[in-house]
């Protein structure tokens, strides 16, 4: 059984997404959070828009499996599907609608871009787990990936809550206590986050999320079955029925075989999306706070 005809063009189109990284690193900031314009007429409620945009991913994942004929998910794919839904239950519902204080407004174009990214991700990940699953008999590499996912997920949740605590009233804080010396009048409502991996980097929530999804991809491709069944780029071009000249160009460039599996493509797309923001955000912290810890890096301890 082969994936539906839409799978291959969608996969290759998603390969174009990481090429935006130089733009968001050197030219412009995505207008949300600390970089949001407070006066734009295109701003929408940050909490609600975030929830709706993130819900696109699990809804697309579930709908894809419901409407497309596919092999039954084997045991390891069902485990990974459960982890996928657990992540988005927190990210799309619990975090923005239950735990998070009022967020900065979200520009409608950012919300639409998030929704489009999640549309690709939900569809491709569902198809990947259905048509290119790890083997039924799982081994230690699969469970190592699951364990890494759990560590990354919990680390991401914890460090997000550190940030949320800085915007909560003292009696409502869940993780840390605000330090008075961070009350720089120029910083507005922003404070220096502390605790956990914030000792080493400005964006440990990003680092933990990268660990989470890298581990997920390792588990999804823990056996050779998931990779050997992937088509070559030559076969992919023929099966895709490609029309877009840009997609054709991408398909003719040598590309690491692992990135033909949707779970690894998701890792690349996520890192290239979040790394420019981490670097710019780290620079913003250093500019805004005279007492910002000099030993901190942006997102990778001791390196970057």
DSSP notation for 113-147: HHHHHHHHHHHHHHHHHHHSPPPSS--HHHHHHHH
Question: Residue 262: pLDDT above 80?
Answer: yes
**Cα dist from 132 to 62, 217, 259, whole Å:** 17, 12, 13
Higher pLDDT, 45 or 64: 64
Per-residue pLDDT of 11-21, as tens digits, reads: 888 888 877 76
Pick the residue with more confidence: 105 or 218?
218
Q: What does each C-alpha distance from 44 to 32, 49, 52, 103, 159 come to in angstroms?
A: 10, 7, 12, 11, 25
Tokens describing residue 248: 């054709």
What percent of the chain has pLDDT above 70? Answer: 75
User: What sign has the CA pseudo-torsion 5, 269, 37, 94?
Assistant: positive
Centroid of chain to Cα 126: 16
Average pLDDT, integer, range 180-196: 65
Q: Which of 82-91, 107-116, 275-284 has the highest mean pLDDT?
A: 82-91
Cα 95 to the chain's mean position, in Å? 15
Task: Please report which confidence band the pLDDT of residue 187 belongs to, taking 50, 70 and 90 as the band edges.
Answer: very low
What is the pLDDT at residue 63?
97
Could you report how far apart the first and last alpha carbons of the chain are, in Å?
A: 44
CA 102 to chain centre: 21
Query: Is 107's pLDDT higher than 70?
Result: yes
Check pLDDT > 80 for residue 23: no
| Of 236 and 281, more confident | 281
Nearest residue to 222 (alpha-carbon basis) of 148, 143, 153 = 143
Q: How many residues does the chain have?
A: 304
* Token output for 147: 């364990």
pTM of the model: 0.85
The alpha carbon of residue 257 and the mean position of all alpha carbons in its chain are separated, in whole angstroms, by 21
**Block residue for tokens 């581990």:** 215
For 113-128, the pLDDT digits (tens) are 899 999 999 999 999 9
Instruction: Please state which of the ranges 4-18, 136-150, 181-195, 252-266 shows the lowest mean pLDDT.
Output: 181-195
Find the mean pLDDT for residues 285-302: 91
pLDDT tens digits for range 171-183? 666 665 445 455 4
pLDDT 10s digits, 51-91: 999 999 999 999 999 999 999 999 999 999 999 999 999 99
Least confident of 37-41, 126-130, 135-139: 37-41
In sequence order, the 6+-apart residues with CB closer than 8 A to the CB of 183 are 191
- Indicate the range of 174-178, 200-204, 240-244, 275-279 predicted with least confidence: 240-244
Provide the mean pLDDT of the chain.
Answer: 83
């Amino acid at each position: 059984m082969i994936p539906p005809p839409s799978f291959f063009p969608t996969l290759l189109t998603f390969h174009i997404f990481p090429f935006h990284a130089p733009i968001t690193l050197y030219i412009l900031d995505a207008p949300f959070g600390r970089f949001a314009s407070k006066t734009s007429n295109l701003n929408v409620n940050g909490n609600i828009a975030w929830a709706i945009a993130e819900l696109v991913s699990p809804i697309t994942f579930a709908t894809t499996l419901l409407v497309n004929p596919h092999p039954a998910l084997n045991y390891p794919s069902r485990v990974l599907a459960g982890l996928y839904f657990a992540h988005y239950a927190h990210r799309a519902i619990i975090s923005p609608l239950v735990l998070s204080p009022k967020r900065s407004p979200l520009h409608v174009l950012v919300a639409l871009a998030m929704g489009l990214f999640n549309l690709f991700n939900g569809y491709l990940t569902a198809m990947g787990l259905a048509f290119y699953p790890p083997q039924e008999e799982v081994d230690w590499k699969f469970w190592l990936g699951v364990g890494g996912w759990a560590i990354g997920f919990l680390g991401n949740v914890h460090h997000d809550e550190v940030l949320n605590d800085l915007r909560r009233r003292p009696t409502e804080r869940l993780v840390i206590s605000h330090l008075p010396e961070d009350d720089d009048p120029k910083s507005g409502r922003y404070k220096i986050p502390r605790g956990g991996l914030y000792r080493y980097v400005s964006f440990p929530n990003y680092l933990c999320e990268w660990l989470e999804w890298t581990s997920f991809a390792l588990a999804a491709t823990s056996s050779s079955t998931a990779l050997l069944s992937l088509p070559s780029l030559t076969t992919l071009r023929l099966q895709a029925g490609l029309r877009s000249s840009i997609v054709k160009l991408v398909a003719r460039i040598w590309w690491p075989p692992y990135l033909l599996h949707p779970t690894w493509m998701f890792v690349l797309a996520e890192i290239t999306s979040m790394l420019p923001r981490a670097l710019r955000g780290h620079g913003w912290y250093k500019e805004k706070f005279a007492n910002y810890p000099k030993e901190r890096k942006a997102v990778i301890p001791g390196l970057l």
